[in-house]
Structure 1
Amino acid sequence: MAIEFNSWLVDRKIKGINVGVTMTIAEYWNFAEDIIAKNDLQRRRVKVSGKTYQLLGRDLIDGCVMPPIILAVSEDSQVGFNSIISSILDSGSASEDQKKKLESLIREAIERKHLIILDGLQRTFTIQDLVSDSDQKTLAKLFSSQIRAEIYVGLSRTGILYRMITLNTGQNPMSLRHQIEMLYQDYLDNDILLQKGVALFKEADDQRISNLGEYKLSDVSDMYYSFSTGTHNSYSKQTISTILKESEFLEGFQPESAEDLSDLIVTYDKLIRKFDHLFPNWNFDPESMQRNLGGTPFARDMIVFGSKVQVMAGFGAALHRLVKRSEKLGDLASVRGIVEQVYIGEELDHPMDWLIFCLDEVRAKSKKVGDSQRAYFNYFFRLLFNDDEECFLNISDSMIKAKEAYDNVYGS
């Protein structure tokens, strides 16, 4: 049978259309197999006690109807939907002509396998096991069974992320950071970012950062996590407070005003390039401070400094406070607008060298060095970009006051 389209619901929260479809497992597996295989950042299989998914596999062969698989058309195929989606959102419902056009575009996206699994990944793995282990007779029976799916169209990346998190409420949800990585991995080949001088590398690329504008995707994801939740701490610490902070992303989500990961990395990159302009050819010189460093320097040049996840996470957390929570800066475009006004200041003779010694002091007195350094940079950027502070846009003064704020909270 051909895939049947049977409902068209407007999702006003995330500005998209939810399309209900019915298909055979054979039709689903025809594209689902490639969705799993090509996505190297997809989360691993969940180990479930009691062999729940093995039981589901047997039930599927017996003809059980499982809950709908939730999918979304990936950004590769979204462009053709834009005008139709806008019209449907304005009117509140889809006309018969619009339904036919959307159906054609969705079939094309399915044919090209431009889909993302939002909910139902483990069920899809169960189907994969059955396909691998079943004999021809069992497989024919499985493939003839029907399943339902819901396909979201017209969603922005942040809209997809929002829906993934709200759907992912089971016992073993993906972390927010993992979902961010998975959604944004194709920016590695994004011409727009490359034209702006930004290149992102996956861990698998084994690419060394050797130029300004080069960053690891995992670190950029960490920065976006901090920007979304307001926490500068590492995302690997899945504490109760971290989970609660993630809810800030959900409660405050508005698709028409959501800041994208690409906006954030472009903003950060512009600031690092401004630092490089203000401190041309900077290389750490321990002799400048006439004192000894207690350990390995945090960074020896601007390329290494700019690529440090501690700096990026502190930047993201600070902008959450200034952009998302207080709206003092309006949006990331406003931040980019004032970056050019950042200046060195006269409070320090060698600001970058002073900063390295400052971070060495933080390291020496900290049990969790990375988190402590993130906290320092959170203070630094909050002071640098807050126009209520005397050190507004003044790098040297912000560095000094950030150390004072850090010592007041964490102890000198």
Structure 2
Amino acid sequence: MRVVDGNFDTNASAFSISTVMELLEYTSLTDYAFKQDGNIEGQRSVISKSAAASKIRDRMIKDFKNGGVFPPVVLGLIVKEEELQKIKESVSLDDDFAQIFETYPHEEISIIDGMQRTNIYRGCLEGNEEREIRVEYWIATSINKLLYRMLVLNTGQVPWNVRRQVEVIYKPIISQIKVLVENKDPDLYSKLNFYDINDKGRRTNAGEFHKNQIVDLFLVYSLRNEKTDISTQLAEEYKKLDLMDALDQSISLDKFIDIFIAMCKLDIALGNLDLSVIELEGRFTNGKDLFSSHPVRVGFVAAATELIIGRKGRERNPKQSEEALNRFVDNINEIISRLDAERFSIEEIEEFLDFQMLNQWLTSLPKSKVGEEERTGFKKAFAMIFEEKEGFIKLSEYWMKI
């Protein structure tokens, strides 16, 4: 391997190193990453089940054998902060990078961009072992920087919709959320169940959530926009940029965990209710039904985020944020206390919840863009609930604001 040049990316706090290396060295170096579909979450594996892909691959093989030069493959490596600083300040980049690079096993290398080219290189190895190819290294101190780079690289290739970009980052986010919830409230965590994105199972009990929907709630929190919907293509390019900004800013999960825990506690409390004796008509006929609705979850998180964090451009200072969080938690706890079947009859609890009123109001919403209308409507209702300072009588007074 021979270093050609290096440039520090101040925007992403990462170092780009351009190199050339012999094909045999490259295929050996990336063997593990290739077999792990790039060794980075969200990377696309080799495209094989496509007639168009087959034609492109055949053409690339022919071009390479005829002496064609491909764009650099981009490899990723996460290093320690002091090592990145050493590379940044190096006067002999070739030596310093090689010295640091050799301390990391091949299993830690990822293919950020170039899975299809790597497949071609592997197929053309025989007879081309000493042929030089161009390889760029993206050296960073966190996985977020590699994911950011991968998203940027792919914006000009096969289009990535918002859902696919969410799939790139949802695993590490979900892992963090699960750990933080378990650490903060182990008893609550034991009552929760998280479904995989490909799981076809439906929610049957309170406390059950699909992971991709939790990611959507995280986006609502981080982008402070209840209209962020990963199931649509509206304003996709703007969401793509917002998503990369959120990723780049390493947004804190602390307040999101507080909001998510409060939502789960309320969901569990509602799920313990049996309202079947009331014979309600409409969408919400039992306690667990409320947070089975994604617009309800989105409205809850959006309203809580705006209360605790503040609106975009008008963020709350730490003291204001803590005071708002305390009021939010107190109000949720008061509502939960009103759902105690040992203190109140089911009829009294339903009178307080007034799902019948909620069901009636939902039928009056415009039929066009109903999902968007519901998200915005529930955000308004929950905003008033969270900001309440005089206690609760009936929730119908808030449902009427939807």
Report whether the alignment pairs 1:185 with 2:171. Answer: yes
Instruction: Indicate how the Cα distance of structure 1 residues 96 and 273 shifts in structure 2: closer, same or farther if over 3 A, else same.
Output: same
Alpha carbons 1:200, 1:214 under 8 Å: kept: yes
For 2:142 and 2:134, the matched residues in 1 are separated by 24
The 5 Å alignment of 1:151-170 reads: 151-170=137-156
State the Cα deviation string for residues 55-80 of structure 1 (Å, max 9, x = none). Answer: 3332223332222223333xxxx4x5
Residue in 1 aligned with 2:220?
A: 226
Residue in 1 aligned with 2:9?
A: 11
What TM-score do the two structures reach when normalised by structure 2?
0.69
AA matched with 1:22: V
The 5 Å alignment of 1:259-338 reads: 259-260=251-252, 262-263=253-254, 266-275=257-266, 279=269, 282-283=272-273, 285=275, 292-295=280-283, 297=284, 300-301=287-288, 305-306=290-291, 308-315=293-300, 317-318=302-303, 323=310, 325-329=312-316, 334=322
* 1:153 counterpart SS class: strand
Report whether the alignment pairs 1:27 with 2:15. Answer: no
Instruction: Indicate how the Cα distance of structure 1 residues 82 and 367 shifts in structure 2: closer, same or farther if over 3 A, else same.
Output: same
Deviation at 1:270, TM superposition (A): 2.0
Query: How many residues of Structure 1 are paired with residues of Structure 2 in the alignment?
Result: 370
Alpha carbons 2:34, 2:111 under 8 Å: kept: no
Deviates more, 1:311-320 or 1:167-176: 311-320
Residue in 2 aligned with 1:409?
A: none
The 5 Å alignment of 1:354-365 reads: 354-355=354-355, 358=358, 361-362=361-362, 365=365
- The sequence identity of aligned pairs, in percent, is 17
Instruction: Indicate how the Cα distance of structure 1 residues 63 and 399 shifts in structure 2: closer, same or farther if over 3 A, else same.
Output: farther
For 1:163 and 1:352, the matched residues in 2 are separated by 51
For 2:28 and 2:368, the matched residues in 1 are separated by 54
Deviation at 1:298, TM superposition (A): 7.3
Instruction: Indicate how the Cα distance of structure 1 residues 60 and 328 shifts in structure 2: closer, same or farther if over 3 A, else same.
Output: same
For 1:395 and 1:146, the matched residues in 2 are separated by 73
For 2:108 and 2:155, the matched residues in 1 are separated by 26
Instruction: Indicate how the Cα distance of structure 1 residues 397 and 275 shifts in structure 2: closer, same or farther if over 3 A, else same.
Output: same
For 1:5 and 1:363, the matched residues in 2 are separated by 66
Deviation at 1:180, TM superposition (A): 3.1
Deviates more, 1:16-25 or 1:192-201: 192-201
Structure 2: gaps spanning 5 or more residues: 339-347
Deviation at 1:81, TM superposition (A): 0.6
For 2:326 and 2:152, the matched residues in 1 are separated by 34
For 1:41 and 1:156, the matched residues in 2 are separated by 16
What TM-score do the two structures reach when normalised by structure 1?
0.68
Alpha carbons 2:20, 2:135 under 8 Å: kept: yes
The 5 Å alignment of 1:208-247 reads: 215-229=209-223, 230-239=225-234, 241-247=235-241
For 2:314 and 2:61, the matched residues in 1 are separated by 50
For 2:119 and 2:134, the matched residues in 1 are separated by 17
Alignment RMSD: 4.6
Deviation at 1:195, TM superposition (A): 3.3
State the Cα deviation string for residues 214-273 of structure 1 (Å, max 9, x = none). Answer: 64321122223334542525323213x3433443445x5594x5315x546523322224
- Larger Rg belongs to: 2
Instruction: Indicate how the Cα distance of structure 1 residues 37 and 281 shifts in structure 2: closer, same or farther if over 3 A, else same.
Output: same
Instruction: Indicate how the Cα distance of structure 1 residues 162 and 126 shifts in structure 2: closer, same or farther if over 3 A, else same.
Output: closer
For 1:162 and 1:394, the matched residues in 2 are separated by 45
State the Cα deviation string for residues 313-332 of structure 1 (Å, max 9, x = none). Answer: 33555567654613434589
Residue in 1 aligned with 2:74?
A: 70
For 1:112 and 1:318, the matched residues in 2 are separated by 43
For 1:333 and 1:57, the matched residues in 2 are separated by 58
Deviates more, 1:214-223 or 1:351-360: 351-360
Structure 1: gaps spanning 5 or more residues: 407-412
Deviation at 1:311, TM superposition (A): 3.7
For 2:12 and 2:228, the matched residues in 1 are separated by 28
Alpha carbons 2:331, 2:388 under 8 Å: kept: no
